[in-house]
Every structure is written in structure tokens, then in C-alpha cells.
């Protein structure tokens, strides 16, 4: 995660157009940008099976796996097959599957998110005691979905399918704050 706050160097007392005064100076002064950028690798997947292989329906059993199962391509192109489902199978009766508790290769979608704000501060009144701040805030700026983990239960009809997202779509909000 990277967070940043940048006051733009434009307007009264700044590097550029520092001599601007009057209404024009108030308009070009006091601008800034803020944001958070988050990149995180997806969590590793764990797998299970429907029913049991031990003679009873004992939960927590793992499947057999005969390859890596990794597929290439953008997440949006793999929603109906996040990984190669053909490498997974139910183990033979009365045996345990060879799949690790947590798969070291297969992962759910990672986080790539940008939150961004444009801020305008204006001071006015006697001795600049009054202030007005306008904010335009954009959450999930590029409206990128973060997909939930796929169905990881061998034997389910949706095995390998991603059916939901875990983040919100782009949200935009505006704020106005008056200080005195």
C-alpha cells in the first residue's frame, strides 16, 4: 500500500504563480491530491471434496491433484474456469487425497485498488480566519472488480467458477467543509 498527500505547488506562496492575487489567486491556490494505492497478491486456495471417501461423510477431506492446475489469462477471461479443473479428482475409497492443505500455486484474485481525492482549500474573510474545503473523492477509481475465490469443492456443479466479487464498484462522493 502506498499513501500520498500532495499539495500542488501553484498559487499564493507556492513555486508557480506565487504572485497571483485577488479572485484569480483564490481560484488557483490551495489545490491538492491525496490517495491510497493497494497492490496485494491473492490468497492461496484450499480444496475439498463433496461427500467422503472414508465410508462416512467426514468433512475436511482433500482431493487428488495430478498437475499444477494453473491457467494463464486475465481474471475476467477465467471466471468460468479459474484453474484447470481436470487435474483434480476424488480420491479412491478409504484413502486421503494428495492435495496440500493450502495450494502453493493456485490463488484467488489479488487486490489492485486506487482511491483518489482532489482537494481545494480556500481561506478568506478577516485575516483569512474562515475556510472552505471542497473534496471530490473516488473509491475504486478505475472501477476494477476484485473477484472472490472460486468454488473449490471437487464434485460441485460450480467447481472452478467465480460467482461473485468482494469489493464495491466505484464510489464517488463530494464534500464541502466550512471552518470558522
- Residue 56 pLDDT > 80: no
What pTM did the predictor assign? 0.77
DSSP letter at 167? S
Whether the Cβ atoms of residue 71 and residue 35 lie closer than 8 Å to each other: no
Q: Averaged over 116-125, what is the pLDDT?
A: 94
- Residue 58 pLDDT > 80: no
List the chain domain ranges. Answer: 2-179
The pLDDT of residue 27: 86
The sign of the CA dihedral 32, 11, 130, 136 is: negative
The pLDDT of residue 51: 76
151 CB-contact burial (10 Å; exposed 0-12 / middle 13-18 / buried 19+): middle
Amino acid at each position: 500500500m502506498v499513501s500520498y498527500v500532495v499539495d500542488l505547488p501553484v498559487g499564493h506562496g507556492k513555486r508557480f504563480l506565487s504572485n497571483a492575487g485577488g479572485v484569480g489567486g483564490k481560484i488557483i491556490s490551495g489545490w491538492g491530491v491525496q490517495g491510497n494505492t493497494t497492490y496485494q497478491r491473492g490468497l492461496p486456495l484450499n480444496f475439498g471434496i463433496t461427500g467422503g471417501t472414508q465410508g462416512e461423510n467426514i468433512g475436511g477431506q482433500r482431493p487428488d491433484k495430478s498437475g499444477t492446475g494453473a491457467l494463464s489469462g486475465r481474471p475476467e477471461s477465467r471466471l468460468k474456469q479459474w484453474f484447470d479443473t481436470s487435474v483434480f479428482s476424488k480420491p479412491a475409497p478409504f484413502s486421503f487425497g494428495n492435495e496440500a492443505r493450502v495450494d502453493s500455486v493456485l490463488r484467488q484474485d489479488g487486490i489492485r485498488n486506487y482511491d483518489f481525492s482532489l482537494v481545494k482549500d480556500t481561506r478568506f474573510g478577516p485575516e483569512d480566519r474562515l475556510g472552505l474545503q471542497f473534496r471530490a473523492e473516488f473509491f475504486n477509481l478505475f472501477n476494477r472488480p476484485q473477484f472472490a475465490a472460486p468454488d473449490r469443492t471437487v464434485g460441485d456443479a460450480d467447481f472452478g467458477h467465480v460467482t461473485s466479487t468482494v469489493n464495491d464498484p466505484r464510489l464517488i462522493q463530494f464534500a464541502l467543509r466550512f471552518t470558522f
